[in-house]
Chain A
């Protein structure tokens, strides 16, 4: 059933791209239905249940690769997030895109992505996860570049693809090591094995590189803000709620296995802490509300990385809870900013305040989501943030624990601060300037005010997200109970419970201090602070990218001179020197002796030699072509004499057509050969020709003398009639025994013909 759900999501995506291009709204509705059914399918298994069911599809049994999915507690939570949020964002997108021409492409790619992400979170082993992982990278690339006319969108898409793609390769290498070393990539089996040693260490580092690129952890965090070039529904779903969580999912699944291997814990904690603080700092300075949210996502991903990387029993529970809380409030915020952008045409934090009169409901909803992000009681964000602090305070006070605790406290102060800054932007903004500008900005929209249906579809998901944040916060104990099974499916010892009011303890006091400091910083932070210059990570990436391109160009300039004589000369030299080397090393070529053939054969050979000399001496080019044809005919005669009629016929026909093609091509060339060639190139050419002429016969003699096994011919003769029903062994070899070769050859033939056609077309133009 799970595979049916995955397949159905892909199918809707494919259908939209192929069949329903004209009716994207219908496709989107179909997508919502499929996603909702998938959610129900998953929910039917029981949200709080502890039982696990798994399914498998044989893929490459010889290599031990199968697609294995399982529905354990954690998978249920993640799959629900993917499908429910997917449906909500899809409903929202119906109104967001309205008359946009790219909508059909969006729906198709979106559904394909949903299917991939659904498969990823259900994966039971690393190989299955890798397959879906790569798919999500591709869809993400295409969705970021949805507006393919924008240069910056295309650049952002390429940056995201190259970064996550490189991480995907690291992941593949890690999976390969584990498969070879332990014969399995299944999470549960690896946990039972308990990998250790250098190879396991290498695999762990590779897996971390994969996770960090995907989840935008320092120093790979730069691609995520760039990905905001995508339309808002894409940002909300892929680059906040789901895809960037893929790295976190990988960490969650593998931390229990690798937490004690080598640098794992140190690296995870340092990367997470740096990312959290860096993201929070940048979020505090950006003026584009969407970029603020992007950097806040980077920051929150840092927190999740720390929580899952530590592999402590409280931390795992807090991580699972915070994934849920973050997905809900961040989707609400992204979509809310999208609504404001859609209605008043700006995302500038100093101007979005103008929206609150026009859209009071949306504004209230966003305020709730912001409070959840800041971790204010009684919203869900408070309860989960609280659990994170409890987990970190519970750590041993060794170096890692202190770094983790200190970093997360600083990061939390910053996240309160950027939340409060956004809060102030939404509530107060610069109303006097804002409303005037908003009036002009929204004049385009004012001519066709959005209908009530569009408004409901747009603000509906925003409101629902806020209400869920609030309701789940108020019933934190119940919601917390549902999250126990998901946590224990990752780590059997994971214990904890969310609570609305945890009572006065260390964590609460820390929280209070964090909130007070954060509010002060956030309230004082300027709304119009100029953004810092382009992010350093982005600059480094671009420098590397440009350097690679320059190197490629220089190598191409050196190796591809564009001169036909040089190409032909190099090819022939290599073809000649390799056999000569072989013959010199293993001088067995003379053992077979040389057969001079019968007198008629010798006569034909002499004719061929004379004609060949004619090719070299002929002055007008077409005469050379005719001589060359003559050589070919002479060889066809030799084939016929030696009892190879098939070869003779084919050779004859090929020669005939080749002469015609030669003559046709020669019409476009100068008639005389090499009139302006100096002595040095001429000597070189003669040298190469003679070398090839000597090397090829030597090689043939050597090849004949070095046979070690019996000729396969006898076997083919024996099998030809019985197995393939043919008496002509040559033909049977071509179409049956070695049919694959023929298949390849006709493909080469087809490609060559297409090449000729296109070359001539370019020359004509």
Chain B
């Protein structure tokens, strides 16, 4: 049972909502270190945008390019998180120890980058991938199950013993 495609809804979601949601998701992820937010919340926001796309009858996509292989995204996210966990070991520090860069930029002034932000980015990617995978499995592929189930139930009504 695929959701009925609604042109207006689809247009609205794709033209505005996805873009705004993506921006917010990235913003929430990066502000997380100093204010409420973080990779988990950011990932869920982008995931919610994909859910909206799905409900509007489209395949989850970024800039009209559907994401066909969320598994790869999942692996990439785990690798980023794992890499940042182990990276300090190379420098002889304990795992996940933060490193703080301070950059002087011309207009904004001092910008502080913390290595754990990268870890949070890994969390972000993993969460997005998980949402996409479940959406594909239960949404697109799950339609097959429900179709078969309905067939079986109508068979039951026809008096076929099971």
Binding site for B on A (CB under 8 A): 645-646, 649-650, 653-654, 656-657, 660-661, 664-665, 667-670, 723-728, 730-732, 734-736, 739-740, 742-743, 746-747, 749-750, 752-754, 756-757, 759-761, 763-764
Contact = CB atoms under 8 A, between A and B. Distances in A.
Main SS class of interface, B = helix
22 contacts: A646-B38, A653-B44, A656-B44, A657-B48, A664-B142, A668-B145, A668-B146, A723-B98, A725-B98, A725-B116, A727-B33, A728-B37, A731-B120, A734-B120, A735-B33, A735-B39, A735-B120, A739-B95, A753-B74, A754-B133, A756-B137, A760-B137
B98 A667 contact: no
B60 interface: no
Given A661-B138, A753-B74, A760-B145, A653 B123 contact: no
Interface string B129-141: 1110111111101
Main SS class of interface, A = helix
Nearest to B127: A749
Contacts of B129: 750, 753
B96 to A, nearest CB: 4
A749 B126 contact: yes
Interface string B45-86: 101100100010000000000000001001001100110010
A724 B130 contact: no
A661 B33 CA distance: 29
A538 B28 CA distance: 64
Contact of B134 (A661, A732, A746, A747): A661
Contacts of A759: 137
Interface residues of B, number: 58
Given A661-B134, A734-B40, A752-B130, 15 more contacts: A646-B36, A646-B37, A649-B36, A649-B37, A649-B41, A661-B138, A667-B146, A668-B146, A726-B116, A728-B32, A728-B37, A731-B32, A750-B129, A757-B136, A757-B137
Contacts of A739: 85, 95-96, 116, 119
B114 interface: yes
Nearest to A752: B130
A764 B141 contact: yes
B33 A728 contact: yes
A646 B29 CA distance: 12
Contacts of B146: 667-668
B40 A726 contact: no
Contact of A664 (B98, B122, B139): B139
Contacts of B144: 764
Contacts of A753: 74, 129-130, 133-134
Nearest to A647: B36
A763 B148 CA distance: 10
Nearest to B101: A725
B153 to A, nearest CB: 8
Contact of A653 (B36, B41, B95, B126): B41
B142 A735 contact: no
Contacts of B45: 653
Given A665-B138, A736-B96, A760-B137, A746 B34 contact: no
B126 to A, nearest CB: 5
Nearest to B74: A750
B98 A750 contact: no
A665 B142 contact: yes
A764 B146 CA distance: 9
A761 B137 contact: yes
Contact of A746 (B41, B122, B131, B143): B122
B44 A740 contact: no
B161 interface: no
Given A668-B146, A728-B33, A757 B119 contact: no
Given A646-B41, A731-B32, A657 B116 contact: no
* Residue among A645, A723, A753, A756 having the largest count of chain B Cβ atoms under 10 Å: A753
Contact of B138 (A736, A754, A760): A760
B107 interface: no
B145 A732 contact: no
Nearest to B134: A756
Contact of B100 (A725, A732, A735): A725
B1 interface: yes
Contacts of B127: 746, 749
A746 B35 contact: no
A728 B34 contact: yes
A727 B34 CA distance: 4
A750 B39 contact: no
Contacts of A665: 138, 142
